Amino acid sequence: MAKATRRPKEFTQAQLYELKHNPNVSSIEGRNITYTSVFKIAAIRADQDGVRPREIFIRGGFCLEAIGTDTPKRCLQRWRAIFDKYGEKGLMNEGRQRHNRKHWTLEEKLQDKIHVAEEQIRLLKDENAQLKRELRELQKLYAEKPKRLYVRSRVSEY
């Protein structure tokens, strides 16, 4: 049994051109290939019919030397698990989108910090105004009460 070849570290220009123009490829970023949901579903159906993973990818127009000979098997294992758990709708959603975080520019980060600081300032001003009102009410109550002096007598024990 031949050893599975790993995909090379980078795509050649010809491989990139071929992959970008393949209708079964949604996008390519670096070494990551995003396959279309139509291809994923068709691949799962073909796999259920007994077609081998390599054959599915060759029929899909992929060069195994470019993507790696072990890629079809790994992709189908991953897609099968998603299909078993979520059905076709799971394959329709792009998995990477669920975990993407927004990449903020420096200006956006600073604007967000300014917005948070302004909100904190507004809340603190509201709190100060409330405390001032309460202080005025307490001062009014204290002014209305007659002042009494209490003298404690000290008793010494002899």
Residues whose CB is less than 8 angstroms from the CB of residue 48 and which lie 6 or more positions away in sequence, other chains included: none
Q: Which pLDDT score, from 0 to 100, does residue 142 have?
A: 82
* Same domain, residue pair 20 and 81: yes
pLDDT digits 0-9 by tens, 64-123 = 888 888 999 999 999 999 989 888 888 887 655 555 556 678 888 889 899 999 999 999
Q: Which residue is listed with tokens 């959603």?
A: 93
Number of domains in the chain: 2
pLDDT(138) > 60: yes
* Same domain, residue pair 82 and 119: no
Tell me the residue ranges of DSSP E strands in 78-133.
none
More confident residue, 53 or 156: 53
Token output for 51: 């077609």
Token output for 8: 């090379």
Q: 112 is in which domain, residue-wise? A: 105-143
The answer to whether residue 7 is domain-embedded is no
Q: Which pLDDT score, from 0 to 100, does residue 91 have?
A: 82
pLDDT digits 0-9 by tens, 15-40 = 888 988 999 998 888 888 889 989 99
